[in-house]
Amino acid sequence: MKREENKNRTFWQEARIRIILTLFSGVLILGHLLTRGDHDLNAVLSERFVRPVHRMLSTAAARLPFSVAEVLVGIFAASVLVYLTAAVIGVIRKQRKLRRICLILLTVLCIGLTVYAAFCALWGVYYYGDDFATQSGLDDSPIALEDLKAVTVYFTTLVNRYAEQVPRDENGVCAMDRDAILARSDQVYRNAEQLFPCLEGPDIRAKGVHFSRVVSYIDFTGFFFPFTAEANVNTDFPTSLFPSTVAHELAHQRGVAKEQEANFCAVLSSLTYGDPEYCYSACLLAYIHLSNALYDADRSTWSAIYSSLSEPVLRDLAANREYWKQFDTKVRKVYNTVYENFLYSYGQTLGLKSYGACVDLLVHYYIGEARAALSDPDKQP
């Protein structure tokens, strides 16, 4: 009797929840797209809706020692795979094939639009409100070449200094304790938020990802998951850049959406925190971005500065290159292409290169200290 009733159900009766959810999600996405140019609206939504929701979600997720984001992603992926497998078998074995195909397509569309609508509401609005540069009042305008040189020299001196203060293995490569880094990550922004109240947020630790090797295959050192407001960090790559990655993802948790600004915040927060391991990682991150910019602008100056790097720093840079070389696969290239298009869609016109655009903020913020250090040897860091 029940089977007979199911056969007599109309398409609307069978799919109405999916249709309603699809239409509702579509309306939300359309509304987001149409209001991207409304700065005031997005600023209000960011401060009065997204940040409070993220605070609540991150506080709840922090009660669990594992990454809730990783569990949810795993369950979601497995559920989709099981559904599609069962749906395809149903199409092959049962009648009303066209109707079943339409239901499958509608379900996939519903899931995709629902997830993206939630993403727009819990993350996308950040890109069109006040960014960190605006809220902090920092200058992120184009920089002079001489200033770039000075700040690169400054961070080269710093990274050489801090390289001597971090633990190393028998090969002289940085070997920090990742668990210890994560354990004190809730303290990293305490001083930075005194300087810039816009960085204020709950003192919550970042979390390591269990399947970090998988994350490396898609070229990620970490990710912020807006649906749980967790800062997730890859625990497989070399540790020299691990603390700065933790600080980067925590910047996202505190409302810094743009990648270039999150990199700057990672450097700023780590240096103001003062922990030698965080400081070394932050200075190495800053050096990499500054030297990459200098390489394109003045090759001879870049070469001279590079030659002044200490042996421990060179070993750490080499270890990072060797690690990521093994993941130079088609999967990584495809994922990078997809992610680059995502960055373009949210106005980050430098695409993946936007990770290096923190150079402007670094130079403007640290130029005073760099000039003082260059003019007075006693003030060298």
Question: In the chain, what are the domain boundaries?
Answer: 2-128, 132-379
Could you tell me which residues come within 8 angstroms of residue 224 by beta carbon, excluding any fewer than 6 positions away?
230, 231, 232, 249, 252, 253
Residue 332 has pLDDT above 90, yes or no: no
Q: What is the pLDDT of residues 176-229, one digit of tens each?
A: 999 999 999 999 999 999 999 999 999 999 999 999 999 999 889 999 999 999
Q: Which two tokens stand for residue 187?
A: 């303290």
Residue 39 has pLDDT above 80, yes or no: yes
Kindly state the percentage of the chain with pLDDT values over 70: 89
Going from the C-alpha of 156 to that of each of 85, 249, 282, 304, 307, the distances in angstroms are 54, 24, 12, 11, 10
Per-residue model confidence (pLDDT) at position 94: 75
Per-residue model confidence (pLDDT) at position 355: 39
Q: How far apart are CA 36 and CA 42, in angstroms?
A: 7
Q: Is 2 exposed, middle or buried (0-12, 13-18, 19+ CB in 10 A)?
A: exposed
Q: How far apart are CA 356 and CA 285, in angstroms?
A: 10
Per-residue model confidence (pLDDT) at position 336: 61
Q: What is the pLDDT of residues 114-134, one digit of tens each?
A: 999 999 999 999 999 999 999
Q: What is the pLDDT of residues 239-270, one digit of tens each?
A: 999 999 999 999 999 999 999 999 999 999 99
Segment 127-151 shows an average pLDDT of 92
Q: Which two tokens stand for residue 110?
A: 């519903």
What phi, psi does 287 have (nearest 5°)? -60, -45
